[in-house]
Amino acid sequence: MTQTPAQILAQQPPAAIADRLLEWFDQHGRHDLPWQHPRTAYRVWVAEIMLQQTQVTTVIDYFNAFMARFPDVATLAAADNDTVMAYWAGLGYYARARNLHAAACTVVHEHEGAFPRSVDGLMALPGIGRSTAGAIVAQAFGIWAPILDGNAKRVIARLAGVTATPGTSAYENSLWPLAERYTPATRVTDYTQAIMDLGATLCTRRRPRCGGCPLADGCLAREAGIQDAIPAPRKKKTRPERTTTMLVVEDGAGRLLLEKRPPSGIWGGLWSLPELSADHDLASFCRERLGLEMQSQTRLAPISHGFTHFVLHIHAYRVQGRGMTRIMDANLAWFAPDARPGVPAVIARLLDTPQSDLNL
DNA sequence: AAGTCGGGGGA
DNA sequence: TCCCCAGACTT
């Protein structure tokens, strides 16, 4: 029989949970993450956006480079979008970068450069949902707010024995009230970091190390021996496959022709190789879209790239031709090798693998 | 409520 | 190879 949050909390007094977690955090938590020193609202915000669906170890280098180039919100707001996107290239989920830039402009021009200090105020900015808003409020301002990121979800679901399937409304709706009740009135900054650290280091997705966990005593999942079954695995889905064609076009000076992708969709707003649908004719595309009379084509080794919801097979051709000086619109441009903007990581690998040509 | 957005890392 | 990760947004 499913227990209500009130019944669960009756067995697990929130204050006892928070105290044990904070005691563990003081000794074993992560205290040297870049965004913790100094812990400004701007730095916490940028870090939280980068950390959405992205692991800490991946984010750190991007965060440091980003801060060196955009040290404050005014600098970020004043930058052009291409520069911001270039610093995001390789991190994925490029809508995050677009939203980040838009939010910076809003903060500068509508909030006099100061971040909102409430969950609702932050959620009004693009790219900030309830969990990220809670994390910023708690970490940047020390104001009470619950979070419910992937780590907190896993810790709380095990602690309270929530067996609902992740991704469902029932799962989210059962966890938020618990997240609120466990969050203490004091040391909210440390508590927020602590529950994420516990999830990242001990209460991991697979093989949780319950032996060293400060919350093992009273953890309903552990007591029932079902900590490995929470959270329930997501149902696996067969990803459909798509095929596309991309062109590597270089001029006599070694410059590369790139196309800025539409704001929405895959790699939105990022510069990438010119792309044509699989059934489109190569020569006519070159002539009509690129202003290029194709003289030769070399097929490169095909690449398969897995996205969240489909697999993309990329057929790339190295194309040579004449009349390449005429650029058809602002979304096409030539780039010298040392001035190449950020491109998707899979495209960067393709371009940096010169031995990929196939002889036809 | 379900689908749409990448890329890296671990097992 | 498969699955997950400091989720938010759209429909």
**Positions of A marked active-site:** 48
Q: Write down the mean pLDDT value for chain A.
A: 90
Residue nearest to nucleotide B4 (CA to C1'): A309
Closest CA to A220 of A18, A12, A6, A24: A12
Level-2 CATH architecture, domain A5-229:
Orthogonal Bundle (1.10)
Token pair of A94, please?
């490029």
pLDDT in tens, A188-215: 999 999 999 999 999 999 999 999 999 9
Give the nucleotide at minimum CA-to-C1' distance from A207: B11
- Reported as a pLDDT band with limits 50, 70 and 90, residue A1 is very low
Q: How far apart are CA A244 and CA A254, in angstroms?
A: 25
Check if A5-229 and A241-356 are the same fold: no
Nearest nucleotide, CA A48 to C1': C6
> Mean pLDDT across the stretch A311-334?
83
Protein residue minimizing CA–C1' distance to B9: A55
Protein CA A220 to sugar C1' C8 (Å): 30
Q: pLDDT tens, A217-273?
A: 999 999 999 999 999 887 777 888 899 999 999 988 889 999 999 988 899 999 999
Second-level CATH architecture of A241-356: Alpha-Beta Complex (3.90)
The gap between A142 CA and C1 C1' (Å) is 43
CA at A138, C1' at B1: how many angstroms apart? 30
Residues in a beta bridge with A260: A271
pLDDT band at A359 (very low <50, low <70, confident <90, very high): very low
Higher pLDDT, A331 or A138: A138
Q: How open is the CA angle A18-A153-A148, to the nearest 5 degrees?
A: 80
- As a rounded value in angstroms, the CA-to-C1' distance for A172 and C10 is 19
Q: Is the CB of A322 under 7 A from strand B?
A: no
Question: Which residue(s) pair with A317 in the sheet?
Answer: A247, A299
Q: Is A90 exposed, middle or buried (0-12, 13-18, 19+ CB in 10 A)?
A: middle
- Please state the domain extents for chain A: 5-229, 241-356
